[in-house]
């Protein structure tokens, strides 16, 4: 699941996002579209897009809420917290600071924005999370 520490990276951030979208879609599929929407507060159109194989624009918080629908997963808050803590742990493992991470990212985030997002002082989109996680995993030994 996306909130676990990742030490390897697929060929691209897009491939990583696709992997996670498939996991989230599987959860929505098993729970059902309407119950998933009711439980998470996420619009049914967004969840339907996941089921259709798309990568809708969602927040890390929303991705965590979807993941928490699975019976074997912790609650959404724990998932989001662990996801960000594993980014910090990954940065330590890869010996990356936010300045070095900003250089590695394939999206436009400056070091301050990265730090605020990882520390959960600013909201993070799921796409930003995936790009940050990919950059960290790609630099891990």
Each residue of 96-137: pLDDT tens digit? 999 999 999 999 999 999 999 999 999 999 999 999 999 999
Sorting pLDDT into bands at 50, 70 and 90, what band is 141? confident
Cα distance between residue 141 and residue 139, in whole Å: 6
pLDDT at residue 88, as a whole number:
96
pLDDT tens for 65-76 read 999 999 999 999
**pTM of this prediction exceeds 0.85:** yes
| Mean pLDDT in residue range 77-88 | 98
Condensed to tens digits (0 to 9), the pLDDT of residues 14-34 reads: 999 999 999 999 999 999 999
Would you list the domain boundaries of the chain?
A: 13-74, 78-139
Residues 6 or more apart in contact with residue 90 via CB below 8 angstroms: 5, 6, 7, 133, 136, 137, 140
Q: Is the pLDDT of residue 86 over 90?
A: yes
Structure confidence at residue 124 (pLDDT): 98
* Structural fold of domain 78-139: 434 Repressor (Amino-terminal Domain) (1.10.260)
CA atoms of 114 and 31, how far apart (whole Å): 33
First to last CA, the chain: 21
């Amino acid at each position: 699941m996306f909130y676990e520490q990742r030490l390897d990276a697929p060929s691209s951030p897009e491939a990583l996002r696709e992997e996670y979208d498939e996991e989230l879609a599987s959860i929505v599929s098993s729970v059902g579209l309407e119950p998933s929407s009711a439980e998470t507060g996420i619009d049914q159109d967004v969840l339907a897009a996941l089921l259709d194989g798309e990568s809708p624009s969602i927040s890390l918080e929303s991705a965590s809420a979807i993941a928490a629908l699975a019976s074997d997963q912790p609650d959404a808050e724990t998932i989001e917290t662990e996801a960000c803590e594993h980014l910090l742990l990954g940065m330590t493992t890869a010996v990356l600071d936010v300045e070095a991470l900003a250089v590695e990212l394939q999206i436009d985030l400056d070091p301050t924005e990265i730090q605020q997002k990882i520390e959960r002082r600013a909201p993070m989109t799921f796409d930003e999370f995936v790009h940050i996680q990919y950059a960290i995993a790609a630099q891990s030994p």
